[in-house]
Amino acid sequence: MAYLGNAPARSFISFERQVFTIVNSQTAYTLSHSVTNENDIRLVVNNIVQEPGSGKAYTASGTTLTLSAALVNGTDEMYCVFLGRAVGTVNAPAGSVNTSQLAGDAVTEAKIADGAVESEHLNNNVISGQTELAAEPADTDEFLVSDAGTLKRIDYSLIKGGGITEADMYRKTATSSDSDVNPVTDWERVDDATFSKLGTGISVSSGIFSFPSTGLYLVKLKAFTRVNSGNYDNLRLRGSNDGFSSNDDVLGLQSHGVISSGNPYQSNYIETFFNCTNVSTHKVKVVCGLQSAQDLYGDTNDNVTTICFIRLGDSQ
């Protein structure tokens, strides 16, 4: 074969030889050069060439030579010859591997050191937004947050917070006259064609209102009354933190004295904040004291006397 310049001096290259010091009961020895397998060396024991391979005289990988049987120091001799000097072909030189030499998906997660991928190696399309979430996230949907520099995931249920999640309204269905009402019991949820509650809704039993979830609620009571001259109406919105078993707090009081004559009509309003911290014990009711010739109006088809509940946020 023709060459440009001087021909390689192959005729002057000799195979490298390594002589081993025998250690009693030892079968593993260290090679001075790394090899791909046992076929890269010729092993000679007591001047006899040994057969390479698993189940034979020896195997080799990297710099480890493994004998199938131990030798005796002082009796046995062993050396090897590195065939073809193939010692430099196992590891590629530093910086010699380019992207074209790497197969697709060849770099696995196990080959990436912990903490090695930093922000400069992340494209801004890592979170691409290619799939739109067109509704409020589910409670188990997760977001990424930085907790003192450590990236963590968190469920939406833990960060969605309070807000107006409940809104409901009831109305008194009939008119009460000439006697105390404690509590007012004839409530129905407003059922007009345009009405809708928000959330689970408030429940009522025997005139006592219960909340579907803890929170800070705005409670608004509007009552339409007729009072005879010289008398007065006495309207109360009451709350309890033990289900009205003993505690009965006045949350708001609207009381009018009337001196005019002739059955005057009037609207009474009470508003308050109610901090419900336990849905089993925190309740609300409406109480009205009616004297002679007094009426607390109600109508199943109209919002005459109503009570409204709006959850403003989490309980305090």
Which three-class secondary structure string do you get for 189-229? ECCCCCCCCECCCCEEECCEEECCCCEEEEEEEEEEEECCC
Report whether 207 contacts 173 (CB < 8 A): no
* CATH 2.60.120.40 location in the chain: 167-313
**Residue at token pair 């450590």:** 150
3-class state of residue 308 by DSSP: strand
The fraction of the chain above a pLDDT of 90, given in percent, is: 47
Q: Regarding the domain delimited by 167-313, which CATH topology (the fold level of the hierarchy) does it fall under?
A: Jelly Rolls (2.60.120)
pLDDT of residue 117: 79
Strand 249-257 versus strand 208-210 pairing type:
unpaired
Mean pLDDT of the chain: 85
What is the chain's Cα-based Rg?
A: 45
| Lowest-confidence segment of 35-39, 145-149, 293-297 by average pLDDT | 293-297
pLDDT of residue 102: 84
pLDDT of residue 87: 44
Q: 224-281, pLDDT tens digit by residue?
A: 888 776 666 678 888 999 988 887 776 655 544 444 556 677 888 889 999 999 999 9
Q: 36-56, pLDDT tens digit by residue?
A: 899 999 999 999 999 999 999
Spatial distance between the Cα atoms of 163 and 110, rounded to a whole number of angstroms: 45
Residue 216 banded pLDDT, cuts 50, 70, 90: very high
pLDDT of residue 161: 66
- CA nearest 77: which of 42, 48, 46, 49? 46
End-to-end CA distance of the chain: 93
